């Protein structure tokens, strides 16, 4: 179902330069949305909502946030993760836009006291998008976050996400047998996309792979959807049934509470379970798991690895500038002294009169984003620390001792490969 277009006022002259607004094609979960039953809401918010999304898409944005602040709502547009002001809405406008976007995403617009998330299939200028919509209660109302996924940009498997071959092969090995592999990080850091990348890294030709959650419009080849639970069946019951159906690997809902964590680890002796959770870093995630499960020994026994992504901007391949680094500088960074070339954003010429902006990035110097990764693998020494209570400082010290791949080290790999610039890496790790 296509949810309409803007209506031109009769008095408005035709303008060939007008941008055709975005088309909303329905929720990613396939649910039918009854717009007639919410006619007043649609009239109040749909055109304004499409206006905001169209503007964001026209600017190549990857995110859009609407947040209530007293009597106003602030709009923030994210381009390659960098926030920019998108203006303000009145309180009534902000409320109408938030509720209508929830409606179109197949969510309940009347539910305003609990978080909700869903997706919308969309089309703009003949390109397909998926808009991941999430609402979160805040003191002044609800915060609406829309993450924009361009379907032409393939970020499906671990390699496309930017993961190095060594880590990808290690994860492939770890997911060959029962246990738990998690992806963690703060909101908006690429956690969910990475989780699906880890799932796709599992050999679905050898293993029976199932998902228990809405894929948000993602295509998952050779992955079955578990959509026939017995009435009243809890998560542990569902995992037990899947094990009886000879499932090997199961993707489950995010771990946000003991109600999810406990059954996951209770059944991890017979299934490889992949999930995500929100945490500051890998070590903090282990500590949270121990608290939720309530049994450090059980977590130590079944946890295999925790992966954390962090996003940074890709250098524009059309205009990046090569330079030769000094050997002592490379040594200081921990990069091979034999490395001949690094890349940076080209400087804007002082006399820009005859300068032609880069046709790809418009002289931003960056185009798109890539992820760097950290992985906490549960080695025998890490297992002992987890069983003793999972002290985050001890975990970090042991990771350093074992020379585990950290975010900083993986970021330097991307710098060495010419994917990003050292200045971008410094920006990302600069204290807030």
Q: Which DSSP string corresponds to 229-267?
A: PPTT--HHHHHHHHHHTT--EEE-----SHHHHHHHHHS
Predicted confidence at residue 357, as pLDDT, reads 87
The most confident of 153-157, 189-193, 200-204, 285-289, by mean pLDDT? 285-289
Segment 214-245, tens digit of pLDDT = 887 788 889 999 977 777 789 999 999 999 99
Q: How much is the pLDDT for 432?
A: 64
Give the other-Cβ count within 10 Å of 364's Cβ. 17
Q: Does domain 158-312+367-429 have CATH number 3.50.50.60?
A: no
Instruction: State the average pLDDT for the chain.
Output: 92
**In contact, 198 and 161? CB cutoff 8 Å:** no
Stretch among 1-5, 216-220, 228-232, 270-274 having the lowest mean pLDDT: 1-5
Domain range summary for the chain, segments of one domain joined by +: 23-150, 158-312+367-429
Most distant CA pair in the chain, distance: 74
Do residues 67 and 76 touch, judged by C-beta distance below 8 A? yes
The DSSP element (H or E) to which 120 belongs, if any, is strand 116-124
State pLDDT tens for residues 335-391. Answer: 998 999 999 999 887 776 778 889 999 889 999 999 999 999 999 999 999 999 999
Q: How many CA atoms lie within 13 A of 95 on its CB side?
A: 13
Strand partners, 313: 369
**Report field, pTM of the whole predicted structure over 0.85:** no
209, 200 Cβ separation under 8 angstroms: no
- Please name the fold of domain 23-150: Beta-Lactamase (3.30.450)
pLDDT by residue (tens digit) across 107-126?
999 999 999 999 999 999 99
pLDDT of residue 17: 58
């Amino acid at each position: 179902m296509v949810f309409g277009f803007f209506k031109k006022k009769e008095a408005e002259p035709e303008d060939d330069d007008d941008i055709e607004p975005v088309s909303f094609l329905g929720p990613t979960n396939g649910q039918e949305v009854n717009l007639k039953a919410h006619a007043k809401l649609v009239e109040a918010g749909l055109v304004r909502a499409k206006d905001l999304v169209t503007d964001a898409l026209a600017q190549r944005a990857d995110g859009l946030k609407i947040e209530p602040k007293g009597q106003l709502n602030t709009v923030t547009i994210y381009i390659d993760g960098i926030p920019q002001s998108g203006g303000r809405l009145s309180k009534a406008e902000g409320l109408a836009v938030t509720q209508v976007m929830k409606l179109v995403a197949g969510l309940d617009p009347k539910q305003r006291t609990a978080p909700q998330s869903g997706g919308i299939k969309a089309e703009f200028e003949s390109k397909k998008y998926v808009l991941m919509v999430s609402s979160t209660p805040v003191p002044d109302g609800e915060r609406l976050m829309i993450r924009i996924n361009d379907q032409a940009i393939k970020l499906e498997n671990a390699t496309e996400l930017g993961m190095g071959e060594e880590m990808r092969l290690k994860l492939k090995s770890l997911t060959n047998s029962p246990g738990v592999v998690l992806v963690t990080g703060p909101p908006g850091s690429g956690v969910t996309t990475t989780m699906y990348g880890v799932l796709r890294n599992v050999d679905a030709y050898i293993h029976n792979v199932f998902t228990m959650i809405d894929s948000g419009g993602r295509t998952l080849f050779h992955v079955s959807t578990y959509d026939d639970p017995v009435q009243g069946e809890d998560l542990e019951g569902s995992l037990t049934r899947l094990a009886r159906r000879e499932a090997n690997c199961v993707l489950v809902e995010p771990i946000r509470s003991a109600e999810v964590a406990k059954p996951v680890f209770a059944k991890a002796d017979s299934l490889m379970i992949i999930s995500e959770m929100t945490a500051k870093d890998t070590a903090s995630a282990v500590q949270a798991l121990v608290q939720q499960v309530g049994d450090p020994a059980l977590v130590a026994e079944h946890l295999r690895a925790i992966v954390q992504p962090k996003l940074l901007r890709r250098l524009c391949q059309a205009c990046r500038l090569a330079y030769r680094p000094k050997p002592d500088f490379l040594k200081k960074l921990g990069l091979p002294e034999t490395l001949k070339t690094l890349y940076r954003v080209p400087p804007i010429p002082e006399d820009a009169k005859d300068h032609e902006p880069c046709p790809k990035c418009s002289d931003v110097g960056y185009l798109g984003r890539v992820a760097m990764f950290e992985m906490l693998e549960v080695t025998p020494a890490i297992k002992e620390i987890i069983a003793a209570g999972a002290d985050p400082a001890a975990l970090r010290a042991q990771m350093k001792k074992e020379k585990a791949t950290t975010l900083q080290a993986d970021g330097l790999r991307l710098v060495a490969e010419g994917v990003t610039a050292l200045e971008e890496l410094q920006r990302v790790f600069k204290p807030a």
